[in-house]
Amino acid sequence: MIAKETLLQQLPQDLDRARLPQHVAVIMDGNGRWAQRQGLPRIIGHRRGVDVLKDILRCCKDWGIGALTAYAFSSENWGRPLEEVNFLMTLFERVLRQELNEMIAENVRIRFLGNLSALPESLQKEINRSMEATRDNRDVRFSVATNYGGRQEIVQACRAIAEQVKNGSIEPEQIDESLFARHLYTSDVGDPDLLIRTSGEMRISNFLLWQVAYSELYVTNTLWPDFDRQEFRSAIGAYQKRNRRFGKL
């Protein structure tokens, strides 16, 4: 039997190559519930969630989608039980170590968005190593939001700009949307065209607050561990039916 993934290795014919979203963001919700529904510990859901993310990243490469941004750990997630937080930190580190060669081979550039200085040092080391080793890769720009909060991102941008005004390198009149966007973590990937959220919740949850101003939203009831290429195709199909007006007529 051919695996489901193999069937959708190429861009499905019902999708229009010329109108693919160039940047997709995902809120990967539902790992814990997926595991609990099967009587398994929540961490099993996170493990499975990594496999799904890997396949969606590969799918972006296969279909020609140039940027993927995933919400892996929000600044509010520190409030989870210590055991789960520790598991996630160790998981991120292990994934980076295991997948680095594959990312290099697949021409994927990985970056991390968020307040990285609060992460365990050994994880920061892996993060820096993987960002450095893939910095010139161009096929897919993969961003992982880790210890990320949208409001915090905006506040740190304000601070950096205020410093520049204070030291006289810019005038307040020079602050406009494009200058502001250059101070966000996403300065080199820009705004997502499509934001996908799994597990049915209709919330942005402090993710890319500035950047999603005109993104198309797609919410599915599917839990992240069950999300697959078929679902990704549906999300992109729905996106291609939308009429993006950016506030105009």
- Annotate 43-76 with b (16+ C-beta within 10 A) or e (fewer): bbbbbbbbebbebbbbbbbbbebbbbbbbbbbbe
Given a contact cutoff of 8 angstroms between Cβ atoms, the answer to whether 130 and 110 are in contact is: yes
State in angstroms the smallest separation of the CB of 23 from ligand FPP.
17
Question: 179-188 b/e with 16+ CB inside 10 Å = b?
Answer: eeeebbbbee
Residue with smaller CB distance to ligand FPP, 73 or 218: 73
The binding track of 92-131 with respect to ligand FPP, each residue x by CB under 6 A or -, is x--x------------------------------------
Least Å from the CB of residue 190 to ligand FPP: 21
SS (H, E, C) 136-187: CCCCEEEEEEEEECHHHHHHHHHHHHHHHHHCCCCCHHHCCHHHHHCCCCCC
Site string for ligand FPP, 18-57 (x = CB under 6 A): ----------xxxxxx------------x--xx--x----
Q: Is residue 233 within 8 Å of residue 15, measured between CB atoms? A: yes
Neighbours of 113 (CB within 10 A): 21
Which two tokens mark 215? 């993104």
By CB under 6 A, residue 59 contacts ligand FPP: no
- Interface residue with ligand FPP among 26, 43, 144, 196 (CB under 6 A) is 144
In the region spanning residues 190 to 249, those forming contacts with ligand FPP, defined by CB under 6 A, are 199
Report in angstroms how near the CB of residue 30 gets to ligand FPP at its nearest: 4
* Residue 26 CB neighbours (<10 A): 26
Distance CA 96, CA 103 (A): 9
Does the active-site annotation cover 29?
yes
| One-letter identity of residue 61 | K
- The pattern of x and - marking residues 161 through 200 that bind ligand FPP according to CB under 6 A reads --------------------------------------x-
CB of 125 vs ligand FPP, minimal distance in Å? 14
Is 86 annotated as catalytic?
no
Could you give the residue numbers annotated as active site? 29, 77
Binding interface with ligand FPP (CB under 6 A): 28-33, 46, 49-50, 53, 72-73, 92, 95, 144, 199
